[in-house]
Amino acid sequence: MAGTGQRVMVVKSGGPSAVPEWREHFRVLLPDTELRCWTEPGNLADIGYALVWEPDEGRLAAMPNLRLILSSAVGVEHILADRMLPRHLPILRTVPGEAADQMAEYVAWAVLHLHRGIPLLQEQQARGHWQFHDPPLASARRVGILGLGSMGARCARMLAGIGFRVSGWSRGRKAIADVACHAGQGELPRFLADLDIVVCLLPATPETRGILGTENLARLPRGACLVSAGRGQQVPERDLLAALDAGQLSRAVLDVFENEPLPAESPLWRDPRIIVTPHVASLPSREARARFIADAIRRFEQGEVLPTLYDPALGY
Ligand SMILES: NC(=O)c1ccc[n+]([C@@H]2O[C@H](COP(=O)([O-])OP(=O)(O)OC[C@H]3O[C@@H](n4cnc5c(N)ncnc54)[C@H](OP(=O)(O)O)[C@@H]3O)[C@@H](O)[C@H]2O)c1
């Protein structure tokens, strides 16, 4: 039974071994909170908050007094996959500033790696071959970002700061200094046609599924490079490999995949044109996420509108 006036939060994120760490962060950040493990939730009627990653189907629906669902990550598709999800409840996307900073570091690394032709230099090193190349300055390289939300906008600013010619594409039109902003389906072909490196940072929605398939990859200039760090379902792997084989794409840096973990038999692992990273582009610490969530819960209880709530009308 929960103590009087105490809020109860159940946690499924990082497994039972992560619970002591979550408990310690919330003890400091939100002291009047009782934190329970997903596997030992006690009386379900006590639970007002659920901090989750991939909740088991039907478990959230069994909590009659749940007020707010907290995604332990930026994306929410792992919660929407629950067919018994209580659809009337708000879902918080956990987006601490650290998450966008980490993503921007990852994307800056990937873009610089491709821009400076590091894969070619690594191939030369493997052969003991000493040869110069002349990469253009960043100011001559066109980098475009699909998705200008908290992740994409931070990446766009960092890449523009390095000196790249940066453009971006989103649903609604954005205004970001030194970034050419495009909006809507109608502007997608022109946006793609003017890029050397395309970076995908879109959320997983029915509209973005397969968005970088054969048709849109064909709109890129021949030999363009891809950085994929949104969600794997946006880049069909068969289409990606076909575009690489045809020379339409020259290289790809992939952090997200149609199936995760990437199966051992996937050809992507061993393709020299591809760099595979295991969904590590942005992994904010539990402390940073707990800080963001504690602040959001306080504001929620004061009746404030939370800016990073999932919007069912938009699907992200
Ligand atoms: N690899 C990793 O480690 C990692 C870590 C964190 C997040 N992610 C991924 O990154 C995604 C983006 O995160 P975020 O915090 O930046 O999300 P966000 O703030 O919700 O931004 C999403 C962006 O995508 C745009 N967008 C969505 N649907 C669109 C459509 N159909 N057409 C055009 N633009 C569309 C939105 O346009 P508007 O601005 O007009 O709404 C917005 O600019 C997450 O959903 C997650 O999948 C990956």
Residue range 215-262, pLDDT digits in tens: 999 999 999 999 999 999 999 999 999 999 999 999 999 999 999 999
Euclidean distance between CA atoms 92 and 309, whole angstroms = 5
**Which residue reads 């699907």 in tokens?**
315
Read off the amino acid at residue 79.
I
Q: What is the pLDDT of residue 206?
A: 95
**Which residue reads 């960092």 in tokens?**
158
Q: Specify the pTM.
A: 0.96
Read off the amino acid at residue 261.
P
Between the CA of 314 and the centroid of ligand 1 the distance, in Å, is 11
Residue 223 Rama label (left phi>0; alpha psi -120 to 50; beta): left
Euclidean distance between CA atoms 315 and 93, whole angstroms = 12
Q: What is the pLDDT of residue 285?
A: 97
Q: In 3D, which of 267, 257, 252 has the Cα closest to residue 233?
A: 257
Q: Closest ligand 1 atom, CA of 76?
A: 45
Say which DSSP state 198 is in: E
Euclidean distance between CA atoms 280 and 235, whole angstroms = 17
Which are the contacts of 233, defined by CB distance < 8 A and separation ≥ 6?
A: 204, 208, 209, 210, 258
Residue 281: CB within 6 Å of ligand 1? yes
Say which DSSP state 221 is in: P
Residue 232: CB within 6 Å of ligand 1? no
Q: What is the pLDDT of residue 239?
A: 98
Candidate of 72, 74, 292 to mutate for ligand 1, largest count of ligand atoms within 8 Å of Cβ: 74
Residues in the chain with pLDDT values less than 50: 1
Euclidean distance between CA atoms 233 and 228, whole angstroms = 10
Q: Answer whether 237's CB lies under 8 Å from 209's CB.
A: no
Q: In 3D, which of 308, 293, 304, 300 has the Cα closest to residue 29?
A: 293
Mean pLDDT, the chain, rounded, equals 97
Euclidean distance between CA atoms 50 and 63, whole angstroms = 9
Residue 207: CB within 6 Å of ligand 1? yes
Residue 170: CB within 6 Å of ligand 1? yes
Active site residues per annotation: 231, 279
With H, G, I as helix, E, B as strand and everything else as coil, classify residue 186: helix
For strand 68-71 and strand 49-52, is the pairing parallel, antiparallel, or unpaired? parallel
Q: What is the pLDDT of residue 135?
A: 87
Residue 229: CB within 6 Å of ligand 1? yes
Q: What is the pLDDT of residue 117?
A: 97
- Preceding amide of 90 cis, omega within 30: no
Residue 138: CB within 6 Å of ligand 1? no
Q: In 3D, which of 177, 310, 197, 308 has the Cα closest to residue 252?
A: 197
Residue nearest to atom 30 of ligand 1 (CA): 171
Q: What is the pLDDT of residue 283?
A: 96
Residue nearest to atom 29 of ligand 1 (CA): 171
Between the CA of 133 and the centroid of ligand 1 the distance, in Å, is 36
Euclidean distance between CA atoms 71 and 62, whole angstroms = 18
Between the CA of 231 and the centroid of ligand 1 the distance, in Å, is 9
Residue nearest to atom 18 of ligand 1 (CA): 149
Residue 199: CB within 6 Å of ligand 1? no
Say which DSSP state 135 is in: P
Q: Closest ligand 1 atom, CA of 75?
A: 45
Within 13 Å and on the Cβ side, how many CA atoms surround 52? 24
Instruction: Determine what percent of the chain falls in helix, strand and coil, rounding each to the nearest 5.
Output: 35, 20, 45
pLDDT tens profile 162-182? 999 999 999 999 999 999 999
Residue nearest to atom 22 of ligand 1 (CA): 149
Euclidean distance between CA atoms 203 and 295, whole angstroms = 24
Q: Answer whether 68's CB lies under 8 Å from 119's CB.
A: no
Residue nearest to atom 21 of ligand 1 (CA): 149
Between the CA of 202 and the centroid of ligand 1 the distance, in Å, is 4
Q: What is the pLDDT of residue 4?
A: 55
Cα torsion for 132, 135, 136, 137, to the nearest 10°? -100
Candidate of 76, 79, 151, 314 to mutate for ligand 1, largest count of ligand atoms within 8 Å of Cβ: 151
